[in-house]
Structure 1
Amino acid sequence: MGTVFDPFGARDTFSTPQGELGIYRIRRLQDQGLCDVDSLPYSIRILLEAVLRSCDGFVVSEDDVRRLAAWKPSNPDPSEVPFMPSRVVLQDFTGVPAVVDLAAMRSAMKRLGGDPNKINPLIPVDLVIDHSVQVDAFGHSDSLEKNVELEFQRNRERYEFLRWGQKALDNFRAVPPNVGIVHQVNLEFLAKGVFVREDAKGPVAIPDSLVGTDSHTTMINGLGVVGWGVGGIEAEAVMLGQPIYMLTPEVVGFEITGELPPGVTATDLVLTVTQILRKEGVVGKFVEFFGDGVSKMSLPDRATIANMAPEYGATMGFFPVDDETLNYLRRTGRTEEEVALVETYAKELGIFRTDDAPMPKFTTLVKLDVSTVEPSMAGPKRPQDRVALANMKSEFQRTLTAPIEQRGFALGEDELARTGTVENNGSSATIGHGAVVIAAITSCTNTSNPSVMLSAGLLARNAVAKGLRVPSYVKTSLAPGSRVVTDYLNKAGLMDDLEALGFSLVGYGCTTCIGNSGPLPDPVAAAVTSGNLVASAVLSGNRNFEGRVNPLVKANYLASPPLVVAYAIAGSTDIDLVTEPIGKDGEGNDVFLIDIWPTSEEVLATIDTALTPEMFQSQYNSAFESNPTWNKIAVVEGELYDWDESSTYIQEPPFMVDMGIEPEVLKPITGARVLALLGDSVTTDHISPAGAIAKDSPAGRYLIENGVEPIDFNSYGSRRGNDRVMHRGTFANIRIRNRLAPGTEGGWTRYLPTGEVMSIYDAAEKYKADGTPLVVLAGKEYGTGSSRDWAAKGTFLLGVTAVITSSFERIHRSNLVGMGVLPLEFPTGKSWETLGLTGEETFDIVVADDLKPGGEVPVKATRPDGSTLEFTAKCRIDTPVEMEYYRNGGILQTVLRKLLQG
């Protein structure tokens, strides 16, 4: 059968229901004195198996194995870990540009004289189309049908392109629209726990592991699967056989004890965990959960916590495989053979957690007694800003007058009493600050969790029985994570009650949480605008950054699905739902939240009777063929995609159009101007094009010039396959504040040679015509948020050559390198403000051809009066492999040149 490169003698076999399978035993390293397996965190053990199995003496060396085996809780070896995951998961917003880049690589390969068919995923790739449905229709029984019809009208070109990819590319599958949210489909269907692959000696079992082009890929950590979000450009490299290179992670141990008290939900728990870990500081680290409280926790609750790892800043929020993992696999319709393989393999490898197993050694420890968790919300602008439900009214009122810098709205006392009138079909309603104009049960975080979804249904049932209704100005929506959710809501008899309160089914996908909330009804929009109100949204999502949910909604609160229903009934966030009535019953009596809140016993009993494995089997057995509209899409087959110059959805990106066979030498950046001067916590939502396209924006003008009517603009996300739209929408978020253009909000800057204020895109074009390179200056935590490749791609296309910040978050820094943009950090403890920079300077950055990862880079800033400031920035190209990417102009160019030479 041949041989495998096995310098540590780790490959062995073990008996399974499927026969003898290969296994790479990490305990062989312990036998050789290289590690103590029991002291390693479970997440590190899984990484170690991958490095051991992938060791080929070239891409993964024996030293790589030894270094990771010697992992130490404090000060882990700073070397890089080459991680080869077993699969890749995409969602369509981030997946379309990934497939566009693969198609562009095929075109470039052809131009350079190579074989286009070398450009193919080398490991399994699943794309789930879940980000394209928008809440246009709501509150009616036919809302789903109408929204899906609009979705296909708006996205026909994208879907035709993805169908081409499905036919042309090997190892690529697409789950069609209207099946579910990628992370829930992954949890319930795509994940297997263990895969069987082939090596030179035959079949071998390997842990299920992945990277995904969405930061909430971490939801799968709740199933004991190692995986996290990466940028689309990183995912493409993995598809093409390149490892993910990461610095050896620290692992924070999070001990969970106790049980949730009655009336407290998994959402309340995850908002508490998020607040604790943000304060702890876990950016770039693994968090691994342990303790007897984990054993008492359902797997959907674990997945809820794992999902929000990006919100608490960790690379992963990991729960090892244990008995509950096996029970969940059974409950979701996996076969007994599959479950037996997971159990047998996990125990053979030493990655099966039990309460009496030795406790691993962690970098630091955090503890939470979950019996202390209380009902909570988070907002109004960040997911880590937890607010106890009992304090919501006072906190909302505080934020109205709090300064912008303290995440408030900076209203004057004379502005607090402003109101607007909603005129609707002869009736009218007066609304003020805090009016809930959007109440959405949405997103992967909670809609994967039967306990909170059934709690919402039970609360709706109790509310309807009391005669409560939702005010007409509230836009209500129910967007479950999978079709199984509606199966069990229907079986429990709760859909009718949700619909009676306006929570009709609007789609199976990410809606409000990603900005696909759709427009507010005109009368509501008019009232909010005329009153200049701080209107509220309450959503069961994981993201509530400024400008994300809806352009007219300034205060956005994350909440559990039952609290979403409760606030919809209340109609305002300016209310204390603990002490004040939520409404009145049919006889005019006060009704309080406690009167309609379901008991824990009710919820558990409903779960037991409403959920069956057969529901999951029925929905997923035909997942890839379940949408007849998708199946009817015409497909043009061929190894090369036939680019259509007239398309406003799909265009060949310019990254590799003029690429040469050899990379150019690194050169200094001279005479650079500042395009944007930004503060702390600038997110990828601020940078990346997202949400609605304004008709008077550069992207809107481009579409109109190309014959697209504003009604057909669709969203930025839906047009991610067209660089000409995305380029124009970069840094165009309505809430971004560029200090170079004081007094403005949105994508504005000053063109410094003349002082003229204009759009960032227009200024960048003028600088490009001048031959002037550009830089961005920013504060701490630059790039927080989703794994948005267009935040880096758009930055590059604007002509930005370097971004200098006080600190970066992980994914965006990596993506900048992957696009050939130099990430630099100010000297420790310094910022552009403490250095006295105004953004009006010109910058000379000494990028030498001997630039090293983590090295020092001299920077000279010349002020308008000719005086200069010099400082040394830290190069945040962290690894030699990243340096190779930067020298080649990006990841895609690096991979393409390697494949061309091979």
Structure 2
Amino acid sequence: MELTVTESKNSFDAKRTLEVGDRTYEYFALDVVPGMEKLPYSLKVLGENLLRTEDGLNVTEDHIKAIANWDPDAEPDTEIQFTPARVLMQDFTGVPCVVDLATMREAVKTLGGDPDQVNPLAPAEMVIDHSVITESFGRPDSLAKNVEIEYQRNEERYQFLRWGAENFSNFRVVPPGTGIVHQVNIEYLSRVVFDNDGLAYPDTCIGTDSHTTMENGLGILGWGVGGIEAEAAMLGQPVSMLIPRVVGFKLTGEIPAGVTATDVVLTITEMLREHGVVQKFVEFYGSGVKSVPQANRATIGNMSPEFGSTCAIFPIDEETINYLTLTGRSQEDVERVEAYAKAQGMWLAEDTPEAQYSEYLELDLSTVQPSIAGPKRPQDRILLSNSKAQFREDLKVFTNDPVCEDDSQAAAKMGAEGGATAVEAHEDIDNYNASFAGHGESAAVGAKGRPSKPVTVQSPRGGEYTIDHGMVAIASITSCTNTSNPSVMVGAGLVARKANEKGLKAKPWVKTICAPGSQVVDGYFQRADLWKDLEALGFYLAGFGCTSCIGNSGPLPDEISDAINDNDITATAVLSGNRNFEGRISPDVKMNYLASPMLVIAYAIAGTMDIDFDSQPIGQDSEGNDVYLKDIWPSAEEIEQTINDSISREMYVEDYADVFKGDEQWQNLDVPKGKTFEWDENSTYIRKAPYFEGMQLEPAPVEDIKGARVLAKLGDSVTTDHISPASAIKPGTPAAQYLDAAGVERQDYNSLGSRRGNHEVMVRGTFANIRLQNQLVDQAGGYTLDFTQDGAPQSFIYDAAMNYQEAGIPLVVLGGKEYGTGSSRDWAAKGTNLLGVRAVITESFERIHRSNLIGMGVIPLQFPAGESHESLGLDGHETFDIEGITEFNKDGYIPNTVHVVAKKETGDQVEFDAVVRIDTPGEALYYRHGGILQYVLRQMVKS
């Protein structure tokens, strides 16, 4: 099951043979093209891709020469067609892909083609990892309970995916309960160097999740794309792109003791986001690379979307080979990778000449300090030593409660007398640990300098405790970023062991979650006997999946949720993930922090963000003595020894021996039959996609936009989580109303992410995030003004959009900087399209979302440089005419700008020329066809 390879024209006579052991491979040699040898590693991979796929049409001699003669100082202006070797999917974004492919089979038949034409031409693999929700936690049976609930809620989806795996060639599914997609990818699915019937070439992989870049740590070039782009790639369409600028990131020194891979990646994230790397490749080089373990490289590559680059790649070297060997790859595969990389000049050795880069950064790893990031963006790094002070500053933004300015105010708020200690204020030691004044401070000093609102909570399990602003409601070891990394996972286990030995416990209000990225983690936790210590602190195995990082933290206990919401407590979450955007982790939590798994344990014990680990004890031991974080922090030697004693190649071989088989529940699913899927009109999970209804073989001309209204006027850094959230479905919202009408009980709403195969649910969830701030209204959430109604009342965005559609009024969205930052969520574009939005006008776009909008027939426009909707005086009450779009009907022509006329209610007009962000002829072609899938389908039928 490998990529269908079209014979290259081979204009440069580049095909050579490579002897590896007793095998002979053909490959396209880079050194036959002058200039290729001096390119950065990542561009060498692109160069080989063009040599191998040269067809004289999509890829020509000129394209190959353009990359060989790449000017590192030039701005990107040369379009190339990149053909990835494979496509990787997770189930949230992957299910809509399979829905669209199944729908395309019917559409092809309607247009006179053969439905069996619709099959992936490139290997397409899906890992089901986004559907497990942590309903049960802190119990020995949590894993079993969560898996049972997962199957109950997702049976329709899983039956559909089983149908797809059995009926689409070149498509495989890794069943639920196996691991997180990106960890399974680097541990098993990644080839690094393909063997396609004797033809060797670099493994390149795009994915329907932005953190596909985790594979960059293995030297695999790839990144996240929208599901619509991934579908097109599966169907043989190359990815259109400009030859990028490449940022060289030099690493020197070694990571000091006490510093984790998480600290390194948060430091790099801050540096690169500040430098500006959107639409650029980042490539690591320098003497420090060899000291970065493969797991740490994967952690760094994983967070490429957080600092905004297309990829963040490490070359192939000895460390790559060691990792492939450890994770159970065959000797033949390992030898092929090394021989190929050396033959192509893709091997990093001490004497490897330094490539030229477009821009340069440098980090001495020895200078990295322990860090966290938050409270709502991954690039907002905070030194752990400054975390308490920064938390107190940030807290003032999240609450309206006044700051306690003196000791008497603070004491009064804590219900204690001026000089009373925390222990005196709370006689019971457990209640003291549950208060926020403790950790070695008096009640007054503990509250002074921050907003405080102590609330007593009665536990149904007996007893009571006090919560306040800054309480840690969720402490979650989760996400592909860190759970693939043995150093921080074993480190977390050892922190738990030392804490357990001293009698420390997690606070009773903390929801403790442990969701490893693969079953291998479970294996080495068992070998090292770490589970008993993690479980003693409440960190029981909850599932193998993304959980908190994707918004699947599950509900908080009722008494805690009620106390938070009834008293407007600003709760926090600490997770070992990569995403902490507003409203993502839990609807009850306002402030979210990224931290290493080791610090997740520490914060669960502390129970609050309002702690200085250097100067305040984390708790008291069984004898009442203060215990500090340093007292339970393992040494680097302890971690390394535990890893050496508990992790082996055999574990990987055994765990992945039958990875596609699944458990008994998976095998016993009732799978539909037939080459075309039998849609159930009553299904609330899987519905036939609407994108091809009424489609003709030839596209209609694109038209200018007349009389459009503003659906949403948004600020900076609006993410795809704001546009198309994947978290819980809130009762009373349009998505919930739809499910109510279908007879779905509230406890069975599941999440928006799990219902991505039903466009009726998802369009109602578009722009519905509870933290979205549409500047047309004062209320946060999915609301707007409906100008089809008298007085333009406030309305749900979905309801207003449907009224606009009924009235035949097109819509636009106005945004600020970095619009669409976030995961590669195709539904952020699909939902925008289905709401009737024809254009999105912003100050700047995130790469993936801009591409997705084009792929759904929505034109992305930018305000003139230096301008914004604020500077232009647009309040969102205007009607918009956008002229010049019809220029796209000229074959091969892309207008640089279009003219926008915004007419105010007073009769005044605001006029400006918006920059068209359709950057390549390929994107223009997709836009003229109404979307990328429509283009592919028409080409398929015509062929």
Q: Which of 369, 372, 378 pairs up with 2:364?
A: 369
Q: Which of 331, 340, 347 pairs up with 2:342?
A: 347
The letter for the 2-side match of 1:781 is E
How far apart in 1 are the matches of 2:36 and 2:121? 33
Comparing 17-26 and 339-348, the one that deviates more: 17-26
Assess if the C-alpha contact under 8 Å between 2:179 and 2:518 holds in 1.
yes
Instruction: Quote how far apart the aligned CAs of 1:204 are.
Output: 0.8
Is 1:23 matched up with 2:22? no
Alignment of 1:861-880 (within 5 A): 861-880=902-921
Alignment of 1:228-247 (within 5 A): 228-247=223-242
Alignment of 1:190-229 (within 5 A): 190-198=189-197, 203-229=198-224
Query: Which residue in the other structure is 1:452 paired with?
Result: 488
SS at match of 2:660: helix
Assess if the C-alpha contact under 8 Å between 1:689 and 1:790 holds in 2.
no
Is 1:360 matched up with 2:349? no
Instruction: Quote how far apart the aligned CAs of 1:422 are.
Output: 2.1
Query: Which residue in the other structure is 2:10 paired with?
Result: 6
SS at match of 1:73: coil
SS at match of 1:292: coil
Q: Which of 888, 896, 901 pairs up with 2:937?
A: 896
Instruction: Quote how far apart the aligned CAs of 1:59 are.
Output: 2.1
Per-residue CA deviations over 1:524-583 (Å, capped at 9, x if unaligned) read: 111211221110100000000000000000010000000000000000001111210000
Instruction: Quote how far apart the aligned CAs of 1:421 are.
Output: 2.2
Is 1:750 matched up with 2:782? no
Query: Which residue in the other structure is 1:43 paired with?
Result: 42
Is 1:682 matched up with 2:718? yes
The letter for the 1-side match of 2:119 is N
How far apart in 2 are the matches of 1:258 and 1:518? 41
Query: Which residue in the other structure is 1:883 paired with?
Result: 924
SS at match of 1:12: strand
Query: Which residue in the other structure is 2:634 paired with?
Result: 598
Is 1:506 matched up with 2:531? no
Assess if the C-alpha contact under 8 Å between 1:422 and 1:526 holds in 2.
no
How far apart in 1 are the matches of 2:609 and 2:496? 19
Note closer, same or farther for the CA distance 1:355–1:854 as it changes in structure 2 (3 Å cut). farther
Instruction: Quote how far apart the aligned CAs of 1:853 are.
Output: 3.2
Query: Which residue in the other structure is 1:442 paired with?
Result: 478
The letter for the 1-side match of 2:106 is S
Instruction: Quote how far apart the aligned CAs of 1:409 are.
Output: 4.7
CA RMSD of aligned residues (A): 1.2
Assess if the C-alpha contact under 8 Å between 1:689 and 1:726 holds in 2.
no
The letter for the 2-side match of 1:419 is P
Note closer, same or farther for the CA distance 1:73–1:3 as it changes in structure 2 (3 Å cut). closer
Query: Which residue in the other structure is 2:822 paired with?
Result: 785
How far apart in 2 are the matches of 1:3 and 1:44? 22
Q: Which of 653, 661, 667 pairs up with 1:625?
A: 661
The letter for the 2-side match of 1:867 is D
Q: Which of 582, 592, 601 pairs up with 1:565?
A: 601
Query: Which residue in the other structure is 1:405 paired with?
Result: none
Is 1:293 matched up with 2:288? yes
Assess if the C-alpha contact under 8 Å between 1:419 and 1:531 holds in 2.
no
Instruction: Quote how far apart the aligned CAs of 1:4 are.
Output: 4.7
Instruction: Quote how far apart the aligned CAs of 1:744 are.
Output: 0.4
How far apart in 1 are the matches of 2:363 and 2:180? 30
Is 1:66 matched up with 2:61? no
Instruction: Quote how far apart the aligned CAs of 1:240 are.
Output: 0.3
The letter for the 1-side match of 2:28 is Y
Per-residue CA deviations over 1:830-879 (Å, capped at 9, x if unaligned) read: 00000111111100001443234361101111000111111000110110
- TM normalised by structure 1 equals 0.97
How far apart in 1 are the matches of 2:165 and 2:247? 40
Query: Which residue in the other structure is 1:303 paired with?
Result: 298
Query: Which residue in the other structure is 1:417 paired with?
Result: 452
How far apart in 1 are the matches of 2:651 and 2:36? 43
Per-residue CA deviations over 1:18-57 (Å, capped at 9, x if unaligned) read: 5211010011002xxxx151x2100000010001100011
Assess if the C-alpha contact under 8 Å between 1:157 and 1:649 holds in 2.
yes
How far apart in 1 are the matches of 2:914 and 2:452? 49
Note closer, same or farther for the CA distance 1:536–1:18 as it changes in structure 2 (3 Å cut). farther
Assess if the C-alpha contact under 8 Å between 1:183 and 1:216 holds in 2.
yes
Assess if the C-alpha contact under 8 Å between 1:854 and 1:878 holds in 2.
no
Query: Which residue in the other structure is 1:669 paired with?
Result: 705
Note closer, same or farther for the CA distance 1:180–1:280 as it changes in structure 2 (3 Å cut). same
Per-residue CA deviations over 1:784-836 (Å, capped at 9, x if unaligned) read: 00000000000000000000000001000000000000100000110000011
Instruction: Quote how far apart the aligned CAs of 1:60 are.
Output: 1.4
How far apart in 1 are the matches of 2:22 and 2:172? 25
Query: Which residue in the other structure is 1:820 paired with?
Result: 857
How far apart in 1 are the matches of 2:864 and 2:488? 46
Query: Which residue in the other structure is 2:279 paired with?
Result: 284
- TM normalised by structure 2 equals 0.93
Assess if the C-alpha contact under 8 Å between 1:780 and 1:805 holds in 2.
yes
SS at match of 1:645: coil
Is 1:336 matched up with 2:336? no
Assess if the C-alpha contact under 8 Å between 2:25 and 2:199 holds in 1.
yes
How far apart in 1 are the matches of 2:654 and 2:740? 45
Instruction: Quote how far apart the aligned CAs of 1:197 are.
Output: 1.4
Per-residue CA deviations over 1:391-437 (Å, capped at 9, x if unaligned) read: 111111001114xxxxx556543792212222113311001011111
Alignment of 1:573-584 (within 5 A): 573-584=609-620
Instruction: Quote how far apart the aligned CAs of 1:369 are.
Output: 0.4
How far apart in 2 are the matches of 1:275 and 1:313? 11
Instruction: Quote how far apart the aligned CAs of 1:3 are.
Output: 7.1
Instruction: Quote how far apart the aligned CAs of 1:146 are.
Output: 0.3
How far apart in 1 are the matches of 2:249 and 2:895? 30
Q: Which of 378, 383, 388 pairs up with 1:388?
A: 383
SS at match of 1:654: coil
The letter for the 1-side match of 2:501 is A
SS at match of 1:226: coil
How many pairs are equivalent? 887
Note closer, same or farther for the CA distance 1:24–1:409 as it changes in structure 2 (3 Å cut). farther
Among all aligned residue pairs of Structure 1 and Structure 2, give the percentage whose two residues are the same amino acid: 55
How far apart in 1 are the matches of 2:885 and 2:157? 42
Comparing 342-351 and 523-532, the one that deviates more: 523-532
Query: Which residue in the other structure is 2:877 paired with?
Result: 840
Assess if the C-alpha contact under 8 Å between 2:818 and 2:843 holds in 1.
yes
SS at match of 1:357: coil
How far apart in 2 are the matches of 1:207 and 1:872? 43
Assess if the C-alpha contact under 8 Å between 1:269 and 1:373 holds in 2.
yes
Assess if the C-alpha contact under 8 Å between 1:544 and 1:558 holds in 2.
yes
The letter for the 1-side match of 2:927 is Y
Is 1:317 matched up with 2:319? no
Is 1:274 matched up with 2:273? no
How far apart in 2 are the matches of 1:136 and 1:269? 32
Assess if the C-alpha contact under 8 Å between 2:8 and 2:52 holds in 1.
no
The letter for the 2-side match of 1:513 is C
**Gaps in structure 1 of 5+ consecutive residues:** 403-407
How far apart in 1 are the matches of 2:539 and 2:649? 26
Query: Which residue in the other structure is 1:127 paired with?
Result: 126
Per-residue CA deviations over 1:746-805 (Å, capped at 9, x if unaligned) read: 000001243200000000011111100000000000000000000000000000000000
Query: Which residue in the other structure is 2:410 paired with?
Result: none
How far apart in 2 are the matches of 1:870 and 1:886? 24
How far apart in 1 are the matches of 2:78 and 2:702? 24
SS at match of 2:240: strand
Assess if the C-alpha contact under 8 Å between 1:400 and 1:411 holds in 2.
no
Per-residue CA deviations over 1:582-639 (Å, capped at 9, x if unaligned) read: 0000100000000000000101111111110000000001111132211111111211
SS at match of 1:557: strand
Assess if the C-alpha contact under 8 Å between 1:538 and 1:567 holds in 2.
yes
Comparing 131-140 and 632-641, the one that deviates more: 632-641
Is 1:809 matched up with 2:846? yes
Instruction: Quote how far apart the aligned CAs of 1:300 are.
Output: 0.1
Instruction: Quote how far apart the aligned CAs of 1:17 are.
Output: 2.8
The letter for the 2-side match of 1:59 is N
The letter for the 2-side match of 1:421 is T
Assess if the C-alpha contact under 8 Å between 1:433 and 1:534 holds in 2.
yes
